[in-house]
């Protein structure tokens, strides 16, 4: 195929496009939708007794704030990762926040009761909330990310999963009180880790350069 001919072909197929808004703006849009969705979900599942059990102490509120921060930074980094020309340093901040979130939860681990941590019948509900509420959020983010460039598909998908998991984790914590942070760390942390891992592996398949359709008419005409 001749390059000059390809350029003519691309110019013939040119249609006006609206430049994407900045990654920060797009992250805000997604976070707004995600917050509304999770807020409604959490409110519908939370009773006054749950709120009373959770309390407003730093032991409960601290990890939630750091989890929200992790979600915000991960969403922002995911949207940045599909725009060519940005530094990849942004990928580090969600990881730092994630480690901080684990740290805030780990503080409660030494006091935890092993029996309570390993009581699966109690915690599957949390796993279900994170996974099921994360589905629509992930789908929405995937639709938004697809409009970008799949420069680092695995990293982008992993960041998206981290954003979804971190925020869904807050909804699960609010709507389902836990005996201590160790349970949250083990069950929520493991669930999010699995989601991030699956996203990283499948991201390369889900986010691809879609150029074959553009090339086909030119090569077919040869």
Partner 1 sequence: MTTSLPNDDQLGWLMRAAQSGDSAAYVRLLHDLTPRIRRVIARQRGFVGTEEVEDLLQDVLLSLHAVRATYDPSRPFMPWVLAIVRNRLVDGARRYARSAGREVHIDDADVTFSEPATNPNQEGPGDVEALRRAVGALPDGQRQAIELLKLQQLSLKEAAAVSGSTVGALKVATHRAMVALRKALGTKET
Q: Is 83 in the site for partner 1 (CB under 8 A)?
A: yes
Q: Does residue 222 touch partner 1 according to CB under 8 A?
A: no
Residue 177: is it exposed, middle or buried by C-beta count within 10 angstroms (0-12/13-18/19+)?
A: middle
Dihedral sign of CA atoms 71, 38, 200, 141 in order: negative
Of 2-41, which residues contact partner 1 (CB under 8 A)? 3, 6-8, 10-20, 22
Tokens representing 119 are 């009581």
Task: Please choose, out of 63-71, 159-167, 170-178, 203-211, the segment that lies near partner 1 by the rule CB under 8 A.
Answer: 203-211
Q: How many angstroms separate the CA atoms of 40 and 44, rounded?
A: 6
Confirm or reject binding of residue 85 to partner 1 (CB under 8 A). Answer: yes
Per-residue burial over 114-132, b = 16 or more CB atoms within 10 Å of its CB, e = otherwise: eeebeeeeebeebbebbbe
d(CA 206, CA 89): 23
- Answer for which of 72, 82, 182, 185 binds partner 1 (CB under 8 A) is 82
Per-residue binder mask for partner 1 (CB under 8 A), 160-199, x = binder: ----------------------------------------
* Touching partner 1, residues 127-166 (CB under 8 A): 147-149, 151
Which segments of 13-107 does DSSP mark as H helices, in order? 23-45, 48-54, 58-81, 92-106
Nearer of residues 12 and 221 to partner 1, judged by Cβ: 12
# residues near partner 1 by CB under 8 A: 31
- Taking CB under 8 A as the rule, does residue 215 contact partner 1? yes
Nearer to partner 1, 47 or 146 (CB): 146
**What are the φ/ψ torsions at residue 107 (nearest 5 degrees)?**
-60, -35
Q: Which residues bind partner 1 (CB under 8 A)?
A: 1, 3, 6-8, 10-20, 22, 82-86, 147-149, 151, 209-211, 214-215
């Amino acid at each position: 195929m001749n390059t000059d001919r390809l350029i003519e072909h691309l110019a013939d197929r040119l249609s006006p496009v609206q430049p994407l808004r900045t990654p920060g703006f797009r992250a805000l849009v997604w976070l707004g939708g995600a917050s509304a969705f999770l807020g409604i979900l959490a409110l519908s599942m939370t009773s006054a007794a749950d709120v009373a059990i959770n309390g407003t102490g730093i032991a409960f509120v601290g990890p939630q704030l750091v989890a929200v921060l992790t979600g915000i930074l991960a969403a922002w980094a995911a949207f940045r990762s599909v725009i060519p020309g940005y530094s990849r340093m942004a990928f580090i901040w969600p990881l730092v926040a994630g480690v901080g979130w684990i740290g805030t939860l780990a503080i409660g681990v030494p006091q935890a009761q092993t029996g309570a941590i390993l009581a699966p019948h109690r915690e599957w509900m949390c796993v279900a909330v994170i996974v099921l509420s994360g589905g629509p959020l992930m789908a929405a983010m995937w639709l938004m990310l697809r409009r970008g460039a799949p420069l680092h598909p695995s990293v982008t998908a992993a960041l998206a999963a981290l954003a979804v998991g971190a925020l869904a984790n807050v909804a699960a914590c609010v709507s389902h009180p836990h005996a201590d942070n160790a349970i949250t760390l083990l069950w929520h942390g493991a669930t999010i880790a699995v989601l991030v891992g699956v996203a990283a592996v499948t991201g390369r398949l889900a986010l691809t350069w879609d150029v074959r359709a553009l090339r086909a008419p030119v090569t077919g005409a040869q």
